[in-house]
């Protein structure tokens, strides 16, 4: 079975900026902090107002965005995505793994070594005219300080966190090991899960394909490069 692994380039056609482009979330950050410091557990605990405001803006940016032809193509495919936008769910894929979480969900704030429950995030209940107090109310933060096992945080994997079973990590590894082919679409190979997938593909001699207008060269003896956008690749093979 083919395993598809997607990154931010897939959602660009829907109008969501990639992370590292000129208008990307990792580029624009916030007024006071870089994105690398913003998307951290440390920022959430020290400055939950800045942290939640940033993710609220991302939710608003994603909320009304519709899936594109690539999401529709992947709706019935074996899929792991790095994207937190939830567009694969909107397209109808009921079994995909959002390995970095989903911004439309939230989790109980707990130590990383602990399991935690996941719920729909009530972003729509936030009062924009009274933003910070409303965010604190929605995420159950009293006196401006998140409390373990009481407060909530967006269900997204942060820079200072690691893959756990809540992110379905072992299931993702099993899908990689059982794949007959891996197709990487719209990813810069700059995050951990792609390095893990490449290592498994090399160790198990699984052929890979990379779909990207400007793909990076990877260390793999059986790699095919499709120098095109994911939407053009889908048109080509359909």
- The pair of structure tokens assigned to 138 is 């929605």
Count the neighbouring beta carbons within 10 Å of the beta carbon of residue 207.
Answer: 16
Say which of 47, 71, 95, 100 is annotated catalytic. 100
2-6 and 181-185: which strand pairing? parallel
CA atoms of 238 and 234, how far apart (whole Å): 6
In sequence order, what DSSP letters do the residues of 71-90 get, joined into one string?
A: HHHGGGSEEEE---S-HHHH
Say which DSSP state 110 is in.
-
The SS3 assignment for 129 reads helix
Active site residue 100: yes
- Show which residues are catalytic: 100
């Amino acid at each position: 079975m083919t395993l598809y692994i997607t990154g931010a380039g897939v959602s660009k056609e829907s109008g969501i900026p990639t992370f590292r482009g000129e208008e990307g979330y990792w580029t624009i950050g916030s007024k006071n902090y870089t994105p690398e410091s913003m998307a951290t557990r440390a920022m959430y605990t020290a400055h939950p107002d800045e942290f939640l405001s940033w993710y609220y803006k991302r939710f608003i940016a994603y909320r009304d965005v519709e899936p594109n032809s690539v999401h529709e193509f992947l709706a019935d495919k074996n899929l792991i995505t790095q994207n937190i936008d939830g567009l694969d769910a909107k397209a109808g894929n009921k079994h995909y793994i959002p390995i970095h979480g989903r911004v439309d969900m939230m989790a109980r704030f707990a130590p990383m070594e602990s399991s935690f429950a996941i719920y729909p995030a009530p972003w729509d209940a936030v009062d924009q005219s009274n933003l910070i107090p409303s965010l604190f109310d929605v995420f159950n933060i009293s006196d401006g300080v998140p409390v373990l096992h009481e407060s909530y945080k967006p269900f997204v994997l942060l820079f200072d966190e690691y893959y756990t079973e809540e992110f379905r990590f072992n299931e993702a590894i099993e899908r990689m090991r059982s794949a007959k082919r891996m197709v990487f679409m719209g990813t810069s190979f700059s995050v951990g899960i792609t390095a893990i997938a490449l290592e498994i593909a090399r160790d198990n001699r699984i052929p890979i394909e990379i779909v990207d207008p400007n793909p990076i060269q990877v260390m793999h003896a059986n790699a095919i490069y499709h120098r095109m956008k994911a939407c053009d690749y889908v048109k080509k093979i359909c």
